[in-house]
Chain A
Amino acid sequence: MTGHAGPSLKENLKDAGAMALASAALALPLVGFLTVDRAQTIVLEYRFGELLYAVAVIFVGRLLLLLANQGHSPAVLVATGAFSVLWAANAFLGIVAITWPALGWLTWIVFSVIALRAWFFMYQAGRRVKQDASDVAERAGTVIYRLGKYLGPALAAFALVMPLMPFADQRMVDLGILVLTYIMLGWGLNVVVGLAGLLDLGYVAFYAVGAYSYAIISLNWGLNFWETLPLAGAMAATFGILLGFPVLRLRGDYLAIVTLGFGEMIRLILLNWDELTNGPKGMGGIARPSFFGMPFTAAPPEGVTAVHQFFGLNFAPIHRVIWLYYIILAMALLTNWFTLRIRQLPIGRAWEALREDEIACRALGINPTNTKLTAFAIGAMFGGFAGSFFATRQGFISPESFNFLESAIILAVVVLGGMGSQIGVVVASVVLIGGPEWFRDLEAYRMVAFGALMVAIMVWRPQGLLAHREPTIHLRGRQPAPAVAARAPAR
């Protein structure tokens, strides 16, 4: 790459200048002006300092990218990498005060991406093979898949011991619960979208059905968590089938629109059916899970032993959080086991075959309606389980928790992770749910960073982070039967 004479410095500067100018024009109204509500009048404030800063970052970034492209990758890598490391170290150790932390973090992200890019160029040049990017991405996917064999158990082991680690405070365990809930929802939706290829934009409806079933059953009949859980799951599965029957004849975009409508319908019913759901006020006082019948309360009623008394500990609210964490971990792992197992069964293969070609499936004598319905029902059931957990964890539910944004986030977890990939869902949940929590320093720019991340993934890995698909069965390593006679078909 270094051999031929690249564009001169002047040309590079011109290119970067043009880029900076264009972004300045775009950013002027977005970043440059800020309306502030002050004493009943709206005042316009100017943020030209920030604007100038952003444009400067774009100019320098573009220049560095161009240089990296033209064979100066090592220098660019060293410069941007050093900046990123130093800045991050400063941010955590607090040596030099930072005026604009949000902008600083954005700059850090930009420079880190450029550093990655430069490394990528070096990697390509080092291989001395001209490969197109998708091939490299596919290879990277394969490598990650191989690591995935160890990554899965490693993550599971980490998840098992995480709440017991010294660094695990209540906030951390709570975040863990949130991430695990989305992992479970992602795995449930993965059955529908990733395996069966049915684009479901209303998955949150089943989450809501599960949560409300749990709340209504436990409030009216006083059943405990473990008794109610299967009922709520069955309820959600029933709704999955009810929805499935009329709409599964539709395909692709049409199915997506109908499921989107179904999600909204459920939310509106929950909002308006006051007698059953208490409408927009929501349902409170939902039973918390107990530890084998023992409550997690500081002062248990007469004759009841609380958990901290049983173990001889001092009461701490984190005990319940940890117990909730293990419940959702167990539920998520069960979902994972079930999905991995069912993928290798005829029904799972039929789902994937339906995703690939429905017409061919029909010609092979597979009943497409039943097959899709099972996928829908099983996906809905896991959504219902997760919903029950949500209800018992919050103790309060209202229709607001089940809006379209939730469906979109769950779908984003599946798509970004790589459709059909179990470990991909884990990685994507950690990034998408955990990430915004870690990037709290970015303040209002948090969602910008989130969006930038999504765009970056879609540009570099449009098929998802871990899209590698491993066959469900291998011929290699299987012994042929001693005598496979030519068989005439049974008639």
Chain B
Amino acid sequence: MNQAPLLRVEHLTMRFGGLVAIDDVSFDAGDREITAIIGPNGAGKTTVFNCLTGFYKPTIGRLALHKAGGREFLLERMEGYRIGQTARVARTFQNIRLFPRMSVLENLLVAQHNRLMRASGYTLFGLFGLPVYRQAEAHAVDVARYWLDRIGLTPRADEDAGNMPYGDQRRLEIARAMCTEPILLCLDEPAAGLNARESAELNEMLRFIRDEHKIGVLLIEHDMSVVMKISDHVVVLDYGRKISDGTPEFVRKDPAVIRAYLGEDEDEALPPEVAADLGSRG
């Protein structure tokens, strides 16, 4: 099939003054696939996300999102909130960004804001409690309950989101993103700070999202056990450039990736006095 991929990133470049954070990166992310972006710290992974979700305007590049039915959105031209509203790209953050003093359920309802706003006649119907709005609200609560059951937070739905344990907050943030009914879900280090069991649950959840909800997932991750187990496709960045792109097996064996992670031939890379110092100790 010669169909356009869900997301096609072409020649993405992002400069901050003289600093080139991303340098001519192109890759595709497929529908119903988990695409992982990996790379050492400072490689520009989160910058790619920020460009995709409208927090930065890319210096150069084209970010095309293809919806089923042939509609195309050029994300680099859209205003930040419209990317979530119209193009339906949802994201989570490296440092969790829940609404800590609102309840778990409210967090999930805020995610369904745009649909509820329309149903409430932009507040007018809602103010007088018309049935149209009450049905929409009941439906939104059902959607929230569905995700709460999935992440196991139904019994604590009425507590403040900020009081949840760390692992639950991570999963709640993913559930909140899913409540916007995205077609592409971008997760910024979802496994950071999770223990082995929570990490396994996360893998399970991401597979579920890909297989049952049939959307594309884009993932930044340091935890290789997560990346290698669940990704269908891995993109490796280093110093803002793409150095490898392929299946997990391919990337794992790619010499360029090994060099980026483990360093070049160490004796050559190190200054002579440091090498000598290391040598004398060893």
Contacts and interface: CB of A to CB of B under 8 A. Distances in A.
Q: Size class of A's contact patch?
A: 35 or more
Contacts of A341: 127
Interface in B103-144: 103, 105-106, 109-114, 116-117, 120, 122-123, 126-127, 133, 137-139, 141-144
A360 interface: yes
Interface stretch (B12-20, B177-185, B218-226, B236-244): B177-185
Given A360-B93, A484-B142, A349 B110 contact: yes
Contacts of B261: none
A342 B123 contact: yes
Contact of B138 (A342, A350, A352, A481): A481
Interface stretch (A94-102, A287-295, A468-476): A468-476
A469 B161 CA distance: 13
Interface stretch (B38-46, B82-90, B252-260, B265-273): B82-90
A345 interface: yes
Contact of A472 (B80, B106, B177): B106
B100 interface: yes
A474 B160 CA distance: 12
Contacts of A481: 138-139, 142
Contacts of A478: 141
A359 B67 contact: no
Nearest to B158: A474
Interface in B15-66: 53-55
A42 interface: no
B108 to A, nearest CB: 10
Nearest to B86: A365
Given A360-B98, A362-B80, A365-B85, A347 B158 contact: no
A357 interface: yes
Among B90, B99, B112, B183, the one with the most A-chain Cβ atoms within 10 Å of its Cβ is B99
A491 B148 contact: no
B207 interface: no
A274 interface: no
A362 B145 contact: no
A363 B106 contact: no
Given A350-B110, A476-B158, A491-B67, A362 B84 contact: yes
A345 B120 contact: yes
A452 B54 CA distance: 49
A390 to B, nearest CB: 26
B106 A368 contact: no
B82 A365 contact: yes
A345 B113 CA distance: 10
Contact of A345 (B97, B127, B157): B127
A365 B81 contact: yes
A490 B181 contact: yes
B235 to A, nearest CB: 22
Contact of A362 (B81, B103, B141, B154): B81
B102 A347 contact: no
A197 to B, nearest CB: 10
A488 interface: yes
Among B113, B141, B158, the one with the most A-chain Cβ atoms within 10 Å of its Cβ is B113
A487 B143 contact: yes
B250 to A, nearest CB: 31
Given A475-B145, A476-B158, A489-B213, A366 B123 contact: no
A347 B123 contact: yes
A7 B184 CA distance: 67
Nearest to B71: A491
Given A360-B97, A365-B180, A473-B109, 6 more contacts: A345-B120, A347-B126, A359-B93, A366-B113, A484-B146, A487-B143
Interface of B: 53-55, 67-69, 80-86, 88, 90-91, 93, 97-103, 105-106, 109-114, 116-117, 120, 122-123, 126-127, 133, 137-139, 141-146, 148, 154, 157-158, 176-177, 180-183, 212-215
12 contacts: A345-B127, A346-B112, A346-B116, A346-B117, A356-B100, A363-B93, A374-B123, A471-B105, A473-B109, A474-B105, A486-B213, A491-B67
